[in-house]
Structure 1
Amino acid sequence: MSGKKVRPLVFDEVCDLFIALGANNSPSEMHGLLGGQLAAGKRMEMDEWLAEAREFIDTEASFTKEQREQLQYVYMSTLIALADDELGFYPLLPDDEADFDARLRCLAFWCQGFLAGFALVEKKIKDLPEVVNDALNDLAAISQLQTEDDENSDDNAEDDYMQIVEYVRLAAMNIFVEYAVDAIDAEDDAVQGKDYLDAQSLFKSRQLH
């Protein structure tokens, strides 16, 4: 699989992009939607991906050059991370300092997006491999998670959350392996000759928070 390494996406940086675009939905859900499609074997040219991102964000405004490159990086970094031999993929979620309820909601959004993205590609297949079917059922259950009111359960809830995130990221990578033997064959064509792997230059400013 991929020998390339990428700097992981940062939730707050993608949030800034969403704010600039006037989006009201969750970056986690969009990342899950993309991850589900990639895990099911779909590959997109950049124009197709940008059109899909525009539809998800629900905007008719034109992307700036910088916004296009940022969204292109979201695509490429997600594909390369899923194909990482060293299991470097992570769902796009708020960091540990964020409110626990917000993190749990974003995890549910990510799983909902992944399931929707996978279904878009695999909707005509009735008999899924057992490992894929089991993982999808688990992600469906996780997508329904809600916070607990018991304040005494905070420590346990935090531990449970971390274990669930670890399961989710490995489940996504396992599904990807089932469907993506040639994981990133088209990546050089997809970036249209430009290296989009420098996230520090693409997400170089966070002035909106």
Structure 2
Amino acid sequence: MSKEPLPSFEKITQTLEDADLFTNASETHGVLSGLVCGGVKLDDQSWRPHFNDVVNEGLGLPRNAQKLVESIYGQVVNQFTDDGMGFNLLLPNDDVPLDERAEAMAQWAQGFLVGFGMVQQALNQASDEIQELIRDIRDISQVSLDFEQEDEESEIAFAEIVEYLRVGAMLCFNAFSRKAPAPVSKTLH
């Protein structure tokens, strides 16, 4: 999987729009992150049918969009498997108005829940902390964050929610996707 940097948020959005897909840059990243954190097999194929079902009625993607989405998927996998600390949500730059960034964050959360839910069927067996986290992500995805003014307090609140989502995604990955080492057999042969 490629480690090359992704195109800009705007270019990703434009490529997805040009392909007439039912998604945008933040939601796409959220869906892919949810699939990875929910436990989809981390290979080059397992995520595709799920993703195509969500964004293109089960059909394959046009070539340009497919290459882009493959690149985003590869980056998500690399970020989570490389200690997870490099994982970041795909959101517009800080120079975009705060209400637009907040809307993109909510779309990321919606996408995350969709991708996660497609592959994770054992949430009820997860820890209380993980179950509460998923409820919080659901609440964030449904909230309309209208910032009446762009002040330092609003920026801080936004940054804290983004960080909560980022850390929450890492916790989900660790709970459902990170493979524990195989138990060592205590039987002597």
**Matched ranges for 1:96-175 at <5 A:** 96-148=94-146, 150-151=148-149, 154-175=151-172
Corresponding residue number in structure 2 for 1:13: 11
Structure 2: gaps (5+ residues): 181-189
Structure 1: gaps (5+ residues): 184-209
The share of aligned pairs that are identical, in percent, is: 25
The TM-score normalised by the length of structure 1 is 0.72
Q: Which deviates further from its counterpart, 100-109 or 38-47?
A: 38-47
Relative distance call for 1:105 and 1:174 in structure 2 (3 A) is same
Relative distance call for 1:94 and 1:87 in structure 2 (3 A) is same
Of 37, 47, 51, the residue aligned with 1:39 is: 37
Q: Secondary structure at the match of 2:40?
A: coil
Q: Secondary structure at the match of 1:126?
A: helix
Equivalent AA in structure 2 for residue 170 of structure 1:
V
Equivalent AA in structure 1 for residue 125 of structure 2:
D
Rounded to whole Å, the distance in 2 between the matches of 1:116 and 1:142 is 14
Corresponding residue number in structure 2 for 1:27: 25
Shift of 1:71: 1.9
Rounded to whole Å, the distance in 2 between the matches of 1:134 and 1:174 is 12
Shift of 1:115: 1.4
The TM-score normalised by the length of structure 2 is 0.79
**Matched ranges for 1:72-111 at <5 A:** 72-85=70-83, 87-111=85-109
**Preserved CA contact (<8 Å) 1:10 1:92:** no
Relative distance call for 1:56 and 1:121 in structure 2 (3 A) is closer
Rounded to whole Å, the distance in 2 between the matches of 1:62 and 1:140 is 28
Cα deviation, 1:44-77, whole Å, max 9, x if unaligned, reads: 654554444444333768622x443222111111
Rounded to whole Å, the distance in 1 between the matches of 2:134 and 2:61 is 35
**Preserved CA contact (<8 Å) 1:83 1:173:** no
Cα deviation, 1:105-137, whole Å, max 9, x if unaligned, reads: 111111111112212222354222122112112
1:179 aligns with 2:176: yes
Corresponding residue number in structure 1 for 2:62: 63
Q: Which deviates further from its counterpart, 157-166 or 120-129?
A: 120-129
Shift of 1:179: 1.6
Equivalent AA in structure 2 for residue 140 of structure 1:
R
Corresponding residue number in structure 1 for 2:183: none
Relative distance call for 1:47 and 1:82 in structure 2 (3 A) is closer
Corresponding residue number in structure 1 for 2:186: none
Q: Secondary structure at the match of 1:87?
A: coil
Cα deviation, 1:117-166, whole Å, max 9, x if unaligned, reads: 21222235422212211211221221122233643x73311110011111
